[in-house]
Amino acid sequence: MKAIRLHAFGGPENLTLEEVDTPIPARGEVLIRNRAAGVNPIDWKTCSGGGASAFIGELPYIPGWECAGTIEALGDGVSEFSVGDEVFGFLRFPEAAGCYAEYVCAPINQIAKRPQALSVEAAGSLGLAGLTAWQALHDKAGIQAGQRVLVLAAAGGVGHLAVQLAKAAGAHVIGTASSANQDFIASLGCDECIDYTSANLSVSLRDIDIIIDGVGGATAIEALPCLKSGGVMVTLPSVTAAEVAQAGEKSGYQVMGIRVEPNGADLAKLAALAETGQLTLSLAQALPLAEAGEAHRLSASGHQRGKLVLTLA
């Protein structure tokens, strides 16, 4: 099969398209003929020697944790899925999963059936960002109907999904974005849209139950006074999580970090919301597998609205 491999940590130019052996599914796994692999900031950070590089084992390494495609073969003991099923997944994170490849082996508890409402490209881009948003809102923050939720970077990969998931949970949703993205976040369901370039959140907002922070650092710290007593911030950027948590502790605000976990049951919940039209994924751009390096360059620029995806024939 064809796969993108990394032989030495470094920039996008270190990603090469190569022929490698097709993997064989172990017990409790399926072999997926991959059609779409999502690209995330953690991908290029890991390939540069940061991110999850401590967990991936020895090089060479096939990047990627998100996939969508068709089940080609079943490992021993698999009865929940059948050959021919259309599925999507978020696999093995933070260990290597090898999704930038034509075939990938997936544990059955880390995949779900792809709903017809999601294109294969959208499904292949949903796992990491969708599960991050779901687990931040439901598992960490314990979202309840009627709460006021503030999403920082509401137009981003995780942010635009968090807006929709909070709305589906019955929350009043406030989102921050640039002036160019105000209409976009309103279309997602934001009840209030704030231009972060001109607003002072700590002055203009109060009584927030949950903040989903997709920015981190000083921006997150400045937003802490928006929380009501007993409110919680879930901060997503790991590089500033300790700094934000420390600032929260000093000021009496509850701050939690998060590391997303693969979870097929949660993926199925996202699929159900997509099927009923309550969750859509914004795709920034789709590129062929051979252009993985360019996808990493685009992701690292930080100016994409929605998700990047690699497509496979």
Q: Give pLDDT tens digits for 135-179.
A: 999 999 999 999 999 999 999 889 999 999 999 999 999 999 999
* pLDDT tens digit sequence for 192-231: 999 988 777 877 789 999 999 999 999 999 999 999 999 9
Measured CA distances, 70 to 30, 208, 262, 289 (Å): 10, 42, 19, 17
| Domain annotation covers residue 261 | no
CA separation for the pair 245, 251 (Å, rounded): 10
113 and 141 inside one domain:
no
| Domain annotation covers residue 274 | no
The label of the residue with tokens 């981190």 reads: 216
153 and 122 inside one domain:
no
118 and 136 inside one domain:
no
* pLDDT tens digit sequence for 236-273: 998 899 999 999 999 999 999 999 999 999 999 999 99
17 and 122 inside one domain:
yes
161 and 212 inside one domain:
yes
| Domain annotation covers residue 57 | yes
Q: Which domain holds residue 212?
A: 129-256
Domain with residue 138: its CATH number is 3.40.50.720
DSSP states along 255-288: EE-------HHHHHHHHHHHHTTS----EEEEEE
Q: Is 216 helix (H, G, I), strand (E, B) or coil?
A: coil
H or E segment and range at residue 6: strand 2-6
Mean pLDDT of 175-191: 94
| Domain annotation covers residue 271 | no
| Domain annotation covers residue 262 | no
12 and 114 inside one domain:
yes
Number of structural domains in the chain: 2
115 and 151 inside one domain:
no
165 and 112 inside one domain:
no
| Domain annotation covers residue 269 | no
Cis peptide before 262 (omega within 30 of 0): no
At 202 the pLDDT is 73
203 and 248 inside one domain:
yes
The label of the residue with tokens 């976990």 reads: 261
Residue 234 burial (10 A CB sphere; 0-12, 13-18, 19+): buried
Domain with residue 15: its CATH number is 3.90.180.10
Cβ contact 195:220 at 8 Å: no
User: Ramachandran region of residue 84, left (φ > 0), alpha (ψ -120 to 50) or beta?
Assistant: left
- What global pTM score does this model have? 0.94
At 274 the pLDDT is 97
35 and 110 inside one domain:
yes
| Domain annotation covers residue 263 | no
Cis peptide before 41 (omega within 30 of 0): no
135 and 115 inside one domain:
no
